[in-house]
């Protein structure tokens, strides 16, 4: 840690909160408060743990873009089964794409998910198409009736 900059103090608070959520420090690395540093990393599993811990926080849930309706998802998932039932945060850096959030399939239990692609050799359009296809499959899940 540095010389008392507010980002250093913010990282301390963030790490404390993650620990309270039961998130092990070895499952992520944060070097600044933006989440954009090339040395930052987090696993999809860790993101799911955070999302599970935040699932009952309506302020947080209401802040997420809704598929086909708002924010960074306004233009995505229109006229698909995911429209309106998926809320998630998108993420983009050169060579990395992410979509993490919640989906409430009409015929299945609510799902917390995180899809992360890194170091792909595919064009961004192909990466987004693959991520969206996975999310649409989640939205289409149905309970098995034996």
- Calpha distance 139→50 (Å, rounded): 21
pLDDT (0 to 100) of residue 1: 46
Whether residue 142 sits in one domain with residue 124: yes
Going by the DSSP 8-state scheme, the letter that residue 72 receives in this structure is: G
Look up tokens 């008392």; give the residue.
4
Whether residue 95 sits in one domain with residue 73: yes
Domain residues for the domain of 139 are 43-146
Whether residue 52 sits in one domain with residue 28: no
For Cα atoms 66, 67, 68, give the angle at the middle one, nearest 5 degrees.
110
Per-residue pLDDT of the chain (146 residues; tens, 9 = 90+): 445 567 788 888 889 999 999 999 999 998 876 666 778 889 999 999 999 999 999 999 999 999 999 999 999 999 999 999 999 999 888 878 999 999 999 999 999 999 999 988 999 999 999 999 999 999 999 998 87
Whether residue 77 sits in one domain with residue 116: yes
CATH number at residue 98: 3.40.710.10
Whether residue 75 sits in one domain with residue 37: no
pLDDT (0 to 100) of residue 16: 94
| Helix segments in the chain, DSSP class H | 6-20, 44-54, 58-63, 124-139
* 74 phi/psi in degrees, rounded to 5: -55, -45
Record the pTM: 0.88
pLDDT (0 to 100) of residue 4: 54
- Helix, coil or strand: residue 118: strand
The answer to whether the CB of 120 falls within 8 A of the CB of 98 is no
Whether residue 139 sits in one domain with residue 90: yes
pLDDT (0 to 100) of residue 36: 67
């Amino acid at each position: 840690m540095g010389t008392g900059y507010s980002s250093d103090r913010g990282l301390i608070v963030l790490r404390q909160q993650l620990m309270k959520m039961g998130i092990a420090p070895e499952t992520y690395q944060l070097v600044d408060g933006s989440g954009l540093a090339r040395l930052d990393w987090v696993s999809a599993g860790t993101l799911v743990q955070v999302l599970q811990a935040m699932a009952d926080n309506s302020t947080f849930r209401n802040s997420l873009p809704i598929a086909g309706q708002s924010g960074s998802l306004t233009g995505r998932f229109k006229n698909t089964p995911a429209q309106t039932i998926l809320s998630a945060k998108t993420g983009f850096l050169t060579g990395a794409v992410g979509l993490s959030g919640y989906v409430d399939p009409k015929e299945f239990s609510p799902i917390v998910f995180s899809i992360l692609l890194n170091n792909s050799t595919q064009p961004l359009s192909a990466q987004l198409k693959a991520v969206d296809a996975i999310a649409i499959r989640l939205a289409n899940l149905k309970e098995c009736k034996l």
